Amino acid sequence: MITRKDLTHIGWLSRLELSEKDIEKYTPKLNSVLDYFTELDDVDTEGVPPTYHVLPLSNVFREDEVSAQGGSLTQEEALSNAPKTQDGFFKAPRMM
């Protein structure tokens, strides 16, 4: 069961500002989903390895070469979608 306190913490970890109203609204819905997830408790997975990747791929590399295709963006392109910039930098809020 997710408590309101859990949800506040999860909201913080997710950087989602949750109002009292949101918490009120989300808590039962999230719990109904989590409750549904407990179905998995019935499955015996003793000794079963997890499947992180569905295909048995390994050792996929790129050579240490500067890419032409799909390579670097110009500064202008890099900043083109930024809501705020200054002197070629992205401009973020203050730290503290």
Distances (CA, A) of 53 to 43, 49, 57, 58: 21, 11, 8, 10
Shortest distance, position 47 Cβ to another protein, whole Å: 9
Smallest distance from the beta carbon of 50 to another protein, in angstroms?
3
Should residue 20 be labelled a site residue for another protein when binding is judged by CB under 8 A?
no
Question: How many other C-beta atoms are found inside a 10 Å radius of the C-beta of residue 87?
Answer: 5
> Do 8 and 23 contact (CB within 8 A), yes or no?
yes
What is the length of the chain? Answer: 96
Q: Does 81 bind another protein (CB under 8 A)?
A: yes
- Residue 1 lies near another protein (rule: CB under 8 A): no
Binding positions for another protein, 34-73, rule CB under 8 A: 34, 36-37, 39-43, 45, 48-55, 57-68, 70-73
